[in-house]
Chain A
Amino acid sequence: AQSVAQPEDQVNVAEGNPLTVKCTYSVSGNPYLFWYVQYPNRGLQFLLKYITGDNLVKGSYGFEAEFNKSQTSFHLKKPSALVSDSALYFCAVRAGHRGSTLGRLYFGRGTQLTVWP
């Protein structure tokens, strides 16, 4: 069965400091991993994805994530946090054939990131 765990409900970090939002997953076969961000009363916005290739994936707004197969993790990182990064972050996983829409996404419960000035 597919599942995602985001062990921290909240992450607080000072502006300018590096941030990490943690995600671990369980999936049958090769994982396709995603990070999304949600601002209040809005839909989810895509940040980045890992399908195959380089374990370090770069995405929107300066975010990156590192795929670690042995630890089944896909932590989201940013070298220098901004106040505007404050939002709800979701990790998601799916298994399926590359290029196919088959295979639903399984989401974590979300991590609320707060960046204080």
Chain B
Amino acid sequence: DGGITQSPKYLFRKEGQNVTLSCEQNLNHDAMYWYRQDPGQGLRLIYYSQIVNDFQKGDIAEGYSVSREKKESFPLTVTSAQKNPTAFYLCASAKSGEQYFGPGTRLTVT
């Protein structure tokens, strides 16, 4: 899991509430990524950022938002517009194309 931290490890929220997942890295990597993992579906890219103050939508960005105000931080907000937010969320950072992953946050929305 290297120098990437995600908090909390488990997160519970009521339907209709926004929730923000934290991702911090001390690897001095420029690029950062957010993935969603569901059983049998592998990893799906939500958002990614190549540099500070810039980010791009991935394949499943609807219902999510991000910011990249600092190189070290790339928080993900799961909004109430996300229809099926319960999942395992993984953050990664990259150098020379090789991605390093955080330990993940398991979000449960009821």
Contacts and interface: CB of A to CB of B under 8 A. Distances in A.
A46 interface: yes
Chain B residues touching A, majority SS:
strand
Contacts of B50: 101-102
B42 A110 contact: yes
Given A34-B98, A43-B101, A43-B104, A90 B42 contact: yes
Interface string B70-110: 00000000000000000010101011111111111010000
Contacts of B88: 41
A43 B100 CA distance: 9
Chain A residues touching B, majority SS:
loop
B90 A32 contact: no
A45 B101 contact: yes
Contact of A46 (B40, B100, B102): B100
Taking residues whose C-beta sits less than 8 angstroms from the other chain, chain B's interface range is 20 to 34
B33 interface: yes
B14 to A, nearest CB: 23
Interface of A: 9, 32, 34, 36, 41-46, 49, 90, 92, 94, 96, 98-105, 107-110
Interface of B: 1, 4, 6, 29-31, 33, 35, 40-43, 45, 48, 50, 58, 88, 90, 92, 94-104, 106
